[in-house]
Chains A and B, each alone.
Chain A
Amino acid sequence: MEMITVKFDGQEYQVPRFVSILEAARSVGFDIPTLCHYKDLVETGACRVCLVEVKGMKALTTSCTTPVHEGMEINLHSPRVLRARRHSVELILSNHVNDCLHCTANGRCELQKAAEKCGIREIPFEGKMTTPSIDRLSPSIRRNSSKCILCGRCVEVCKKAQGIGILDFIHRGFETVIGPAENRSLTQVPCIYCGQCVNVCPTGALYVHEEVHRIQKAQVDGKHVLIQVAPAVRASLGEEFDLPIGTRVTGKMCTALKRLGFERVYDTNFTADLTVMEEGTELLTRLKKHLMGEKVALPQVTSCSPGWVNYAEYNYHELLDHLSTCKSPQMMMGALVKSYYAQKNGLKPEDIFMVSVMPCTAKKYEKTRPEMRHETYADVDAVITTRELGDYIKSCGIDFLSLPDGEFDMDLLGDYSGAGALFGVSGGVTEAALRTVYAITQGHEYGKVVFESVRGLKGIKETTIPLKNIIIDGKRSGINLDLKIAVVSSTKNAKILMDQVRAGTSPYHFIEIMGCPGGCINGGGQSFIKPGLLTFQEKLTMNDLLMKRAKAVYEEDASRPIRSAHLNPLIQNLYQEFLGYPNSELAHKLLHTHYHPRTPFPNIEE
């Protein structure tokens, strides 16, 4: 790497050549305060916090936008610079609602951190505030523009990373607000509730609707309260307790949940295994029809990501029959608990309160879908995020870090294979499905259990699995099939593949689509990875942080004694005792669903 010499506050340093002042300073141990800056997402210098003084420039300049050059002389903390940074933050605070102590972002707010770093002690510029836009209609994501600092990260992530663009800057000047078209509620535009915007929002302007209080109400009402936990949660929950990003905390998590007093602590990975069985069978059915020359909706597309399902319902009305009819693992668990578990324990479904801990914000919406509810009860009653669980554990006075390792309940539901554990990361569903589909069609396990080609965080991954002399309905067919599979994450990449399907040019049999870039490990409900909240060391490696969570998920898979869904004894038991066989009538009734086309911008009365 080419190095050059610059001066910071009169002293010479060797820094890389083709970087910004901010990065150059970081390379030698300076952490200039920033606010709106988010690497590769927003590097516009809009907040005017990272200001520095450069010799030869009349005005101050933002260090995140200005490249260094040989011999540049920069002052990082002269009185002029420090005063200007303070004023930038003070002005933002003068147009910011002052409810830090009861805000969802309290302790997780980059503006709080900036105010701390810049030494704010007063707000000398008081005056009117921008007219607030408050949207509390959605069960998932909510907005309060009086906390917005107009950094534009949410706009960029929704537009560039997700390829959707629900949010943008509207109006001009002091009345500028970030919102959807017509500043509608998120419930009236094609927002899929993936929560990527919440993951990048520096303050509490975009936040997730919290449901922990529902658990407590259910307990007071004397309900039978049980909980399930998604695979990606355990790869992130530790961060809520300041453990390094990607520390796998399955053991402590189970102990904490047990101590919180839930009747059962089940693992959603169990129903992930179940999804593999149901969806794998569904795929084989479609393949069989296809091989027999029947018209059938191929490629089959996964449906366990509710954000992706929302996206499909808004944008691909005519392709909805490509989606697997399987419910997501969360909803399958809810359905089983309110039927099988209820029966087995002599309970009425109305008296059971099913809580899910999810890395996902769209799942808060998913549980409200009419297909997931019955006349007098819902399959899942409350969904809380990883962050909410962390808060709940703390508010109950449990010291997470000192907990011994515990286990999930595995009496009826809850034992899981490594396959189910993989659902938390992009490519996981595919790998899990392949282990079973291969076994069924080839009559023996796939030699190596890990399908490397679908691992990692690349947005679009492909693989072809040659299947020879496929077993259909228990008999060798003599047919060979190269099973073509694509794995995508983020709706931006989903669009590319679905447009192919629409045009009739898709070469695949099976497409896994996760709504969030990288999969559930990067869901809208996970612990925040935001620049202002990271340690100095973490800031230097921001791009690699997500991969650590992925590794935790792979570790979980590797740690399981059983690696494939069809070999999970509890799953086998469930079919024997209750469901019969995959895609049976009962399985269809409980574990499958259907989808509806949705209007992106419905007419609303003024």
Chain B
Amino acid sequence: MNRLTSIQNLRDSLAQAKLDYIKLLNGGKVVFVCGDTGCLASHSQEVKEKLDELVKAEGLQDNIKIMYAGCFGLCSQGPFVKVYPEGTLYRLVKPSDATLIFEKDLKGFGIVESLVFKNPDSGAIYAKQEDIPFYQKQKAIAMADFAPIEPDNIDHYMGIGGYEALCHVLENKTGEDVISIALDSGLRGRGGGGYPTGVKWRYARMQQDPQKYLICNLDEGDPGAFMDRAIAERTPHIILEGMMIAAYGIGAIRGFIYVRAEYPTASLRLQQAIDLLRTKGLLGEKILGTEFSFDIEIRVGAGAFVCGEETALMASIEGKRGMPRSKPPFPAVKGLWGHPTIINNVETFANLPYIFRPGGLEAYKAIGTEKSKGTKVFSLAGKIKNVGLVEVPMGTTLRELIFDIGGGIEKGKKFKAIQTGGPSGGCLTEDDLDTPIDFDNLIARGSMMGSGGAIVMDEDNCMVDVAKFYLEFICDESCGKCSPCRIGTTRMKEILDKIAAGTAVMSDLDTLKELAIFIKDASLCGLGQTAPNPVLSTLTKFYDEYKAHIIDKTCPAKVCKDLIQYRINPDTCKKCGICAIHCPVNCISGVRGKEAYVIDQMACIKCGTCLSSCPFDVIRKV
């Protein structure tokens, strides 16, 4: 592994890597198999191993290369296999399909039509990634064009333009310049707050204390959000490059990546990348012969959502309980171990190489809206056809996101709401669909950007239940330090429990609202200050649903256990008895072949096993 000792060295490496990568994609057959956590769980490892086996058996290792790539974004269609030089993208590839791909495509006999994307309406085939509608409206900056590269391969990363920005900055820019560019770009924090990144950096740079720290927040606690995990697993180097640029700008000497405990693969890939950079001389003392010294350390979390809050995160690194503290003093002035510290989200760092490469600033400013520049990565999940990661320019409407990119609601159901901002956010409904996505618009419509989790809900989701779910999460994750959040959120949850059980009265809604407004106003940290948002948002937009639970004692969406019953249709029941066999409390009686089965409502525990096991779909929730 050759060590780089000057900027020229790096330049030469970059040029070579670009050539090598083009050669790779335009030579013999190169196969990328998605090795992201989601696809691995769907047996993509077996797909790759089978392909390896087939190639080896015929001694074709020199002509056909099989390697892992990172997330392709459209996770619900995984596992993915992409074949070059044609650039054919195969989806839903099972291990048993490996032989087909090998025999037909890899041996040069054309694409396997059954495995490429097909338009469900027109039947049109999209063999190339860029033709697929899912990708059309996206602009992948943080997701690096969804370009296929081996995650642990720095040459591949350089091949797609990686470390170009760092090189340019070290060669031509001062730290002050970096701050100016950040300010000019309009980049706002991608962790959820949307605070102007350049402004934060400038505070830190201004501090006299020479011992400055940079922290990358990979705690990604919002349930349903996995953008940061994917970025770290597929392109760890994009984060490291971003961190180096930021460190250069603010004058940081040490960097930390705080990785939540639930992401061991991300942690591993980042550590491998850091070790590699150290060996190459891109991290450490006097990098590439300049005065810039910087190194990065990984620190792990241990299962606490609140550690995504910057002061709690720092407390965790300091070996304490992750309990936030009051601000001021702000971390940029007094942070980790008392020194000026900048904390930025993974996605924020992932945007920096694009902005800081030659011509990047102007290109970046041309994307997005006036007050929200650039793009945002969303993890689109829930009741949507295309579940996965998408990156869209700010200004894209919610309608485009959900229907054009997301493919609309699965199973032919009706769209009800999209929840953004996780437990800190709110719901956007039919009326909000034409809102251009940006930080301020989403707040104006009663939600917020958040880290990027976007959960789509349909008519079968109960919004009271959704609010209760988020509150339960908050109660679990509240650190317990301040009384409004510690006690207040539990009191709010107790009221929601009553509503869901049909035992609440209308005045409970007044208490709920009073508590919600107080907790927002009086809590010590962002977790508490935003905890009431899902409740307030659903209370405003789905007031009738709350009323139904309280006054009519019904759950319109048929979710809240105490307000629904499972009923077997006596007319259509086929008397097979399967439901009775599966029922865990033996509350279904009937005679096989002779009498229709009936559920004893007093004993029924509403577990739903009967409904999911009935082969004839005669059981309903009423």
Contact = CB atoms under 8 A, between A and B. Distances in A.
Interface stretch (B33-41, B227-235, B477-485): B477-485
B483 A62 contact: no
A46 B482 contact: yes
Contacts of B475: 173-174
Contacts, number: 102
Interface in A157-207: 169, 171-176
Contacts of B520: 59
Contact of B491 (A66, A125, A175, A176): A125
B488 A125 contact: yes
A48 interface: yes
B328 interface: yes
Given A47-B483, A62-B326, A87-B518, A94 B478 contact: no
Interface in A326-361: none
A87 B518 CA distance: 7
B304 interface: yes
Interface string B511-539: 10011001011111000010000000000
A144 B228 CA distance: 44
Nearest to B511: A124
A363 to B, nearest CB: 34
Given A44-B326, A48-B524, A173-B475, A150 B480 contact: yes
Q: Interface on chain B toward A: helix, strand, loop, or mixed SS?
A: helix
A127 interface: yes
A243 interface: no
A47 B484 CA distance: 8
B521 A60 contact: yes
A59 B521 CA distance: 5
B321 interface: yes
Contacts of A169: 321, 323, 480
A128 B477 CA distance: 18
Contacts of B482: 45-48
A102 to B, nearest CB: 24
Given A94-B487, A125-B511, A127-B494, A173 B522 contact: no
Given A59-B529, A60-B522, A173-B480, A44 B488 contact: no
Interface in A119-155: 124-125, 127-128, 149-150
Could you say which interface size class chain A belongs to?
35 or more
A46 B524 CA distance: 7
Contact of B483 (A61, A91, A171, A172): A91
Contacts of B523: 48, 59
Contact of A174 (B480, B511, B522, B529): B480
Contacts of A59: 520-523, 529
A51 interface: yes
Contacts of A51: 522
Interface in B293-348: 304, 321, 323, 325-326, 328
Interface in A75-90: 80, 83-84, 87-88
A94 B475 CA distance: 16
B486 A173 contact: yes
Contact of A48 (B476, B484, B490): B484
Contacts of B494: 127-128
Nearest to A171: B480
A266 B484 CA distance: 52
A94 B495 CA distance: 14
Could you say which interface size class chain B belongs to?
20 to 34
A562 interface: no
A553 to B, nearest CB: 39
Given A88-B484, A91-B483, A95-B487, A45 B326 contact: yes
Contact of A65 (B326, B490, B511): B326
Given A59-B529, A67-B328, A173-B486, A88 B480 contact: no
A95 B485 CA distance: 13
Interface string B534-563: 000000000000000000000000000000
A443 to B, nearest CB: 56
A45 to B, nearest CB: 5
A66 B325 CA distance: 12
A92 interface: yes
A84 B304 contact: no
A173 B486 CA distance: 6
Contacts of B514: 87, 124
A44 B522 CA distance: 14
Given A44-B326, A91-B484, A128 B511 contact: no
Given A60-B521, A88-B522, A128-B490, A66 B483 contact: no
Contact of A80 (B326, B478, B481, B521): B521
A127 B491 contact: yes
Contacts of A61: 326
Contacts of B490: 127-128, 174
Nearest to B495: A127
A51 B519 CA distance: 12
A171 B487 CA distance: 15
Contacts of A125: 487-488, 491, 511, 515
A124 B321 CA distance: 31
A66 B521 contact: no
26 contacts: A44-B326, A48-B482, A48-B523, A51-B522, A59-B522, A59-B523, A60-B522, A65-B328, A66-B328, A84-B521, A88-B483, A91-B484, A91-B488, A124-B514, A125-B488, A125-B511, A125-B515, A127-B491, A169-B480, A172-B304, A172-B321, A173-B475, A173-B486, A174-B480, A174-B490, A176-B479
Query: Which are the 9 A-B pairs with shortest beta-carbon distances?
Result: A176-B480, A65-B326, A173-B478, A91-B487, A127-B494, A125-B491, A87-B518, A45-B326, A174-B490
